Structure 1
Amino acid sequence: MDINQVTVTGRIMNNVTKRADKDGVVIKLGTIGIYKGKDKQTGEPLYANIPFMAYNTATEFIKPNTKMMLVGRLNSYTKTDGSPYGRLVVQLQVNSAYPIATSQDVNVSDDDLPF
């Protein structure tokens, strides 16, 4: 097991882009919104929006506005933005992606019940 392994669940935002690098490796870049709870004053839901990068077969399952579980590792780098120290960027490198079924995705009829 990798020490730097994280698992997150949330909703894939609509900003997903797909491309291939110079070696033909398929890459998807996007953001996953992770529910943090409700704002104490307004009662509105709060989300942490975490950028991710997925490669190869993991990209097949990642679709915008889908509830997902992403497994991978954290990666960070400093992006030069003109300030003296740059800006720290933390990103999830996705190794595996799993769609999560919600009650809206599942249709059950009386014929499906065992009794």
Structure 2
Amino acid sequence: MDINQVTVTGRIMQNVTTSSDKDGVITKLGTIGIYKGKDKQTGSPLYANIPFVAYNTATKYIEPNTKMMLVGRLNSYTKTDGSQYGKLVVQLQVNSAYQIATSQDVAVSDDDLPF
């Protein structure tokens, strides 16, 4: 068991980019919006937008505007932004990805019911 393992569920945002390097490694970079609750003043939903990176087989099912469960580990690095200390970037390094079916995705007919 890996101590640094996290599982998140949310919706993949529209900003997913896919690339491949000279060795054929497929990479997807994007953001997953994780529901945090409602704003107490306005009642509108609040989301934490977490950046992620996925490689090879973990990229297969990741598509924009899809509800997903991502499993991986937290990774951080310092990005040079011209300031004295740089900018700390924390992202989810995805090991596996699973699509989550919603009630809109599932069609049930009378034939499916046992009564």
Report if TM-score (shorter chain) is over 0.5: yes
Letter matched to residue 72 of structure 1: G
User: Is residue 67 of structure 1 aligned with residue 102 of structure 2?
Assistant: no
Question: 1:21: how far off?
Answer: 2.0
Instruction: Note the 1:1-115 alignment, pairs <5 A.
Output: 1-115=1-115
Aligned length: 115
Note the residue ranges of structure 2 that are not aligned, 5 or more in a row. none
Question: 1:22: how far off?
Answer: 2.9
Identity within the alignment, %: 87
What CA distance in whole angstroms lies between the structure 1 residues aligned with 2:77 and 2:49? Answer: 17
Q: State which drifts further: 22-31 or 3-12.
A: 22-31
Q: State which drifts further: 96-105 or 15-24.
A: 15-24
Q: Deviation string for 1:72-103 (max 9, x for gaps)?
A: 00000000000000000000000000000000
Stretches of 4+ aligned residues off by more than 6 angstroms: none
Letter matched to residue 114 of structure 1: P
What CA distance in whole angstroms lies between the structure 1 residues aligned with 2:21 and 2:81? Answer: 24
Letter matched to residue 108 of structure 1: V
Normalised to the residue count of structure 1, the TM-score between the two structures is 0.98
Note the residue ranges of structure 1 that are not aligned, 5 or more in a row. none
Q: Deviation string for 1:21-46 (max 9, x for gaps)?
A: 23210010000000000000010100
Q: SS of the counterpart of 1:3?
A: coil
What CA distance in whole angstroms lies between the structure 1 residues aligned with 2:58 and 2:114? Answer: 35
